[in-house]
Amino acid sequence: MPIDAHLLLLDKDQVERLMQPADVMEAVREAFVLHSDREGRVFPVVREALATGGIFGIKSGDVPSQGLLGFKAAGFWPDNRKRGGEPHQATVMLMDPATGRPLCVIDGNAITTLRTGAAGAWGLKTLARADSASVCVFGAGVQAAIQLRFALDHLPALEKVRYVTYDGQPNPQFESAFSACCDMSLAMDKNDAVATSDIVITATPGAGALFDAQALQAGTHLNCVGADTQGKRELPDGVLARVTLVVDDREQAKRIGETQWAPSTPSVELGDLLTGKETFHRQPTDITLFDMTGLALQDLTVARMLYQRALAGRMGSSIPWPW
């Protein structure tokens, strides 16, 4: 690398212009496959509470055969809402594995949102009943919206949506984003919404059980997003014992995912299902659960796509970054 090397910066607007959902789906699938084949490594996650009230984390990994190395520094700062900002914050850095030099710094909020939505879609496509027509969504924020958007895009039979908010009040902005493409309404009873839905999506801060265990019926699929830190949970006791459990990373799910509450539960990694290393033939009464903790490889494959597109299109801000 020459002494006059440069560092590329991609801000939020540039990332959003470069990123298309279909391409993110493929990049996320590649991440699952790389993880299954053990070509990509996922390093131990850092996830720590701060004195400021925020939670700071680092997810990192590499793909040696592809020269891909990097990390995402991210977390959750709830007080940002009082400042008029987004509580979720993320920054991705790609690095040259041969020299350790940074190549690109990317606003990671949109990456996190879309890659998590895409991961959820792969869970649904792989595990949910193909005729699933109804969904119950816990949450009405950014992640709940992207999970629902990908679900509607990839499950053609899905048409009825019931959503649950933390205060039981309707969210007009959330409803208006989807009311034109589905039958959407606020759930009056969370347990009834779970019991009458083919799919349950939980996308909350993970402060505690969201519904009663007995509400969960045979044949349901769950995508669980909110448990991403030790101590977080969205499911009541007893659910994991009833499900076919699928995770993105087995050890990570035991540390910070929903699986932490029953770590001895047998599980399969989604990447192994996508590669055919493991098989699952859903029966009508099976309850399936995808415990989503987020793979660093997902951030890196999406970031690499953005970096390559930005270079080809001469986008971003290139600043001197000499040795």
Tell me which CATH homologous superfamily contains domain 120-294.
NAD(P)-binding Rossmann-like Domain (3.40.50.720)
Task: Identify the bridge partners of residue 320 per DSSP, sorted by sequence position.
Answer: 6
Q: Look at residue 33 and tell me whether its pLDDT is greater than 60.
A: yes
Interatomic CA distance for residues 242 and 310, integer angstroms: 46
pLDDT at site 239: 98
Whether residue 297 is predicted with pLDDT greater than 80 in this model: the reply is yes
State how far the Cα of 275 lies from the Cα of 160, in Å rounded to an integer. Answer: 31
- pTM of the predicted model as reported, rounded to 2 decimal places: 0.95
| pLDDT, tens digit, 9 for 90 and up, residues 127-172 | 999 999 999 999 999 999 999 999 999 999 999 999 999 999 999 9
User: Looking at this protein, which amino acid is placed at residue 321?
Assistant: W
Q: Which residue, among 170, 108, 118, has the nearest Cα to 149 in the 3D structure? A: 118
Mean pLDDT of 68-88: 93
**What are the pLDDT digits (tens) for 203-236?**
999 999 999 999 999 999 999 999 999 999 999 9
Q: How far apart are the first and last CA of the chain?
A: 8
Domain extents in the chain = 6-111+297-320, 120-294
Q: Residue 86 and residue 42: Cα distance in Å, rounded? A: 27
Architecture of domain 6-111+297-320: 2-Layer Sandwich (3.30)
pLDDT at 2: 58
Looking at the predicted structure, is the pLDDT value of residue 259 above 90? yes
As given in the structure block, the two tokens for residue 42 are: 């996922």
The structure tokens listed for 175 are 């409803």
Contact 221, 282 (CB under 8 A): no
- Other Cβ atoms within 10 Å of 212 Cβ, number: 13
Is the pLDDT at 1 greater than 60? The verdict is no
Cβ–Cβ < 8 Å for 288, 222:
yes
pLDDT of residue 81: 87
Which residues touch 172 (CB under 8 Å, ≥6 apart)?
A: none
What's the rounded mean pLDDT across residues 182-192? Answer: 97
